[in-house]
Amino acid sequence: MNESLIKKINEKFETDIISHLIDKDMPVFVIKKDSILRFVQFLKEDEEIQIDQVTDITAVDWYNKREARFDVVYHFYSYKKNHRLRVRVELNEDDAKIASISGIFKGADWFERECWDMYGIIFLNHPDLRRILLYPEFVGHPLRKDYPIDKRQPLVKLRKPEARRERP
């Protein structure tokens, strides 16, 4: 993504962008939580940027390391212009909710479900926010840093180690 486009985004969303930097692979915009929908809509509809694919949506847990506990990270790509950019939104633990962008990019649907499954971040107005990888009986969100590392939630009754070779 060239300089002029970055400048354009910066000027247009002056009040919404908290900070921005040019990372090794792509430019990064840290934006406010409330402006995500407008921001993504702009990226999609602007004729010079023409973002048409969500490559990935994931989260980062900064448990005990930072005041705002979660980062939600979006990766975008444009097939037509062949450029990428990354958008980051900081979320607090007690208000880990963000608007779903699956209305703008349909492909965001499953990424957001995965993100909810693993980190417990709620995507508001998502059409079908269920667990996607784990089973519905699972309690908690395993990629949060405070999930106990040796906690298991088996669906069938596990056999005791001493009885493992015997037939039931």
Partner 1 sequence: MGEEELLKESIITSRLDESINFFDKILNWSRKYSLFQYPFATACCAMEYMTTSGPRYDIARFGAEVPRFTPRQSDLLWVVGTISHKLAPVLLRVYEQMCEPKWVISFGVCASSGGFYNNYATVQGIDSIIPVDVYIPGCPPRPEQILDALLLLQKKIDSQKALWRLSKRDSKDE
Q: Which residues bind partner 1 (CB under 8 A)?
A: 134-135, 142, 147, 149, 151-156, 158-159, 161, 164-168
Kindly write down the DSSP assignment for every residue of the chain, as one continuous string.
--HHHHHHHHHHTTTTEEEEEE-SSSEEEEE-GGGHHHHHHHHHH-TTT---EEEEEEEEE-TTTSSS-EEEEEEEEETTTTEEEEEEEEE-STT-EEE--TTT-TTHHHHHHHHHHHH--EEET-S----SSS-TT--S-TTSTTS-TT----SSPPPPGGGTTS--
Q: C-beta of 133: minimal distance to partner 1 in Å?
A: 8
- In terms of CB distance, is 24 or 151 closer to partner 1? 151
Q: C-beta of 6: minimal distance to partner 1 in Å?
A: 39
- In terms of CB distance, is 42 or 147 closer to partner 1? 147
Q: C-beta of 4: minimal distance to partner 1 in Å?
A: 46
